[in-house]
Chain A
Amino acid sequence: METSFAITGKGYVILAADTTSARSIVKMKSDEDKIKTLSPHLLMAYSGEPGDTIQFAEYIERNIRLYQIRNNYPLRPPAAASWIRRSLADSLRSRKPYAVNLLLGGYDTTTYTPHLYWVDYLGTMTELPFGAHGYGSYFALSLLDRYHDPEATLEEGLATLRRCIDEVSKRLVVSPGKYKVKVVDKDGIREVEL
């Protein structure tokens, strides 16, 4: 089953999402990137109903890009998160709501602070030190309650993430195999091999 995690640390946010794309009981793809780069310092991990996810993620991606082109500056993480949340909240009360859950990780270059937002398909949004979606969250959240450190270095943060992934692989019946891991900090966005 789809699983995604996110952890904040000292000056960074790590996002991780599994790479399987499934239809019913069949794995259609095992190298799908479910983390989009929305702007130079903003990442979005998305999961949920197959068609909706890509449709919604691309809509968000294009509109965030359009804002940046029009204004020469990208939206800061809190503003981007608010707009994205509102898109989901409006969609919820439409004829066909998007069933998409998000983790938004960003680095605010004006205040030099990392931000992580947990957003679900209802438009529920909250800022967190760490978060997760999917069945993996039932294992990862309790683990992160114990091991998360907001002052941890990137190496320590990645080690903590590794523990989450290992725990899910060990205990979840329908655990995903591979994850894509991305980091956002003052230097921008990059992919990390665990």
Chain B
Amino acid sequence: MSIMEYNGGSVIAMVGKDCVAIASDLRLGNQALGISSNFQKIFPVTDRIYLGLPGLATDVTTLRELFRYRVNMYTIKEERDIEPETFAHLVSSTLYERRFGPFFIEPVMAGMSKTPSGGYKPFIAATDLIGCLNFAKDFVVAGTASSKLYGVAEGLWEPDLEPEDLFETISQTMLNAVDRDAYSGWGVIVHVMTKDKVITRTLKGRMD
């Protein structure tokens, strides 16, 4: 019995042309027994950052609360929203604080970061459970279906997808990967972020 697979669940984030997308399944289980089909693992951090927390469910809630606290403190002190790059390092250092008794979570982030010229550029990142950062340029995955997500994403993803095409790509990747994973599934939620809005959709998929 692996702690990382105790509750199940998976998250993926992808980069597109001036947009990013992040998706997760909605299952909460105790090993093979399904408990909930509406367990959110992705949380908005600011208007332009979404954070996915697959792994041990108790730590999903604990970390969500911890990041909300730390981001609020940052916002009050700095009088501005935290940037995705900065937030990624906050995630990393928060996890590394527990280097020898870790939170059993592998976070995935997606956001739009400000450029010096005043525009926005897509940003994704992921870390392992002790905060080792991975700034990928294409896509990042985590959770019990990670190997399946890698396989499908590597086959479907291409550079510079428009928001609607990115939505289709990430949705198909998620749906087909979780259908081959016993610990993930029971519904999928997708967020597609552009510079001025976020579109959230809950997908109709297999519920077995």
Which of A's residues lie within 8 Å of B, judged by CB?
Answer: 85-86, 88-89, 92-93, 118, 120, 122-128, 131, 137-138, 141
Contact = CB atoms under 8 A, between A and B. Distances in A.
B156 interface: no
Contact of A122 (B39, B56, B65): B56
B33 A122 contact: no
A122 B58 contact: yes
A89 B57 CA distance: 10
Contacts of B65: 86
Interface size band for B: 10 to 19
Contacts, number: 43
8 contacts: A118-B35, A120-B30, A120-B58, A124-B28, A124-B56, A126-B35, A126-B39, A127-B38
Given A126-B35, A126-B36, A131-B35, A93 B101 contact: yes
Contacts of A86: 62, 65
Interface of B: 7, 28, 30, 33-36, 38-39, 56-58, 61-62, 65, 101
Given A118-B35, A122-B57, A128-B36, 8 more contacts: A88-B58, A89-B58, A93-B101, A123-B58, A123-B61, A124-B58, A131-B35, A141-B33
Q: Classify the secondary structure of B's interface with A.
A: mixed
Nearest to A132: B35
B58 A92 contact: yes
A11 B39 CA distance: 23
A-B residue pairs, 10 tightest by C-beta? A123-B58, A124-B57, A122-B58, A126-B36, A124-B58, A89-B62, A126-B39, A89-B58, A126-B28, A128-B36
Contacts of B101: 93
Given A122-B56, A124-B28, A126-B39, A85 B61 contact: yes
Contact of B33 (A85, A124, A125, A137): A137
A115 B53 CA distance: 24
A103 to B, nearest CB: 12
Contacts of B35: 118, 126, 128, 131
Contacts of A128: 35-36
Contacts of A127: 38
B29 to A, nearest CB: 10
Most chain A C-beta atoms within 10 Å of own C-beta, residue among B36, B58, B61: B58
A69 to B, nearest CB: 26
B33 A138 contact: yes
A118 B36 contact: yes
Contacts of A141: 33-34
A87 to B, nearest CB: 12
Contacts of B33: 137-138, 141
Nearest to B36: A126
Contacts of A126: 28, 35-36, 38-39, 57
Contacts of A92: 58
B94 to A, nearest CB: 15
Contacts of A120: 30, 58
Most chain B C-beta atoms within 10 Å of own C-beta, residue among A86, A126, A127: A126
